[in-house]
Chains A and B, each alone.
Chain A
């Protein structure tokens, strides 16, 4: 299993500002994934972050808006830049872990409200 923590757990931000969300995993993992969950919606994958290389973004998401860092095998950050109210969402990171069952584990999420 994996224990994933995210900081902050929630925040309220002003339009035009940026917020950096941290994701910490208790074991080394190759890939980390960032998702967004808008109110009442399912999860949408933003990007996949591999340690030591540029993140791979899904259609509709760009690096300028959601820059990602992956400095080591247990940590990643997602920045939401130049925020607007449409960015109000829950942001989650996730990782695969191996064990008896290969499965994907998710962090508790960061609830962002943009005014």
Chain B
């Protein structure tokens, strides 16, 4: 499985945008970029995923570099409830494919 690299932790102020980076220089052409997050004492939850184009949903935006070797998860207006560990994962979108987690980025939101 292709590897991703994320900062161990980041801090942001409440109500400000947050940009969470992810490097994936060995990404293959069939790999989708997924983001999951894990709130305290909960299982991971899906945030967003994309292949080549930037993606937006109600939770976040995903900006993908033109060469696909890096991506950025954007939380437009962070709240205290966004404090979590964010995982950037590469996977072929296949209903039976396994997801391998890296270490993720622990996001701290300052009130």
Q: Which residues of A contact B (CB under 8 A)?
A: 4, 30-31, 33, 35, 42-45, 48, 50, 92, 94, 96, 98, 101-109
Contacts and interface: CB of A to CB of B under 8 A. Distances in A.
A102 B98 contact: no
B79 to A, nearest CB: 22
Say what secondary structure dominates the interface of chain B: loop
A87 B104 CA distance: 22
Nearest to B91: A104
Given A42-B103, A101-B49, A33 B43 contact: no
B43 A42 contact: no
Chain B's interface size range is 20 to 34
Contact of B95 (A4, A94, A102): A102
Contacts of A98: 95
Nearest to A108: B43
A96 B95 CA distance: 6
Given A42-B87, A43-B101, A44-B101, A30 B95 contact: yes
Given A104-B36, A104-B46, A105-B45, 19 more contacts: A31-B95, A31-B96, A33-B98, A42-B102, A43-B44, A43-B101, A44-B101, A45-B99, A45-B100, A92-B43, A94-B43, A94-B99, A103-B49, A104-B99, A105-B46, A106-B43, A108-B42, A109-B42, A109-B43
A114 B60 CA distance: 39
B93 interface: yes
A72 B44 CA distance: 24
